[in-house]
Amino acid sequence: MILFLSNLDNQSLLIALSVALLLGMAKTGVHGAGMLSVPLLAIAFGGKVSSGLMLPMLLVADIFGVLYYHRHASVKHLKTLFPWAAIGIIVGSIAGNFISEGLFRIIMALTIVISLFVMIWMEAGGKEKIPDNMFLGAGAGFLGGFTSMIGNLAGTVMAVYFISMKLPKNNFIGTVAWFFFVINWFKVPFHIWVWHTINADSWLLALTLIPVILLGAYLGILIVKKMTDKTYRWFIISMTFVAAMVMILK
């Protein structure tokens, strides 16, 4: 692993450390930080490669999020989302074999930008909670699974869905934590045997970065405790905007 890290230039190494910190923060409530980490890692390693490199880091970070917020998850929403997310992951794993690196980046940028506009429209427009029905949950689950496989971008999709449900801050974080804990493990076989984007280096990098991820998780807990529900929703929106700008300007 030391050899692997030494092969990274200074910019790539700094990005890897920053991504680990952001992922730790994201899993304990600073949800937008995870959105920012996606374009950063894509800049350093490319879209498809970065999705496989990030997944082991996500799996490590997921553990901290679930441990801290596991009691706040909305089981009702998770039951609706999981089956459709699994289908989205399968479709995404197939589609990924036919998508070029350039198209990968376009999909990532469009997903972030569209999600951003929907979140602002709902929050600034004072929209009430959208009726919670099976069709909306199925659509969100499928898109969440697909975009999670195509670039680890389900964070933007699920942020739109849970903001539309007007979930309280802790329920939002706990439900997201469990959702990604499950679907990220479901994605592992596809990355290993279909895309071949996860290898020993990916796992070793994630393990090496555990102290940085843990630091991010601790910072995330401190930050979220100081936010009201409304402030938290606007924080997610602002972080999504930053992620969109990073991807577009690149």
Instruction: Kindly give the parts of the chain with pLDDT less than 70.
Output: 1-7, 32, 47, 101, 105, 125-132, 246-250
CB 7 within 8 A of CB 15: no
pLDDT of residue 1: 41
pLDDT of residue 3: 42
pLDDT of residue 4: 57
Distance CA 77, CA 165 (A): 10
Query: Exposure of 142 by Cβ count < 10 A (0-12 exposed, 13-18 middle, 19+ buried)?
Result: buried
Structure tokens at 12: 């790539």
Distance CA 210, CA 21 (A): 9
- What residues contact 48, with CB distance under 8 A and at least 6 apart? 96, 99, 101, 104, 151, 195, 197
pLDDT of residue 40: 83
Residue indicated by tokens 């979220």: 224
pLDDT of residue 2: 42
Which 3 state secondary structure label does DSSP give 104?
A: helix
pLDDT of residue 150: 81
pLDDT of residue 132: 67
Distance CA 225, CA 213 (A): 19
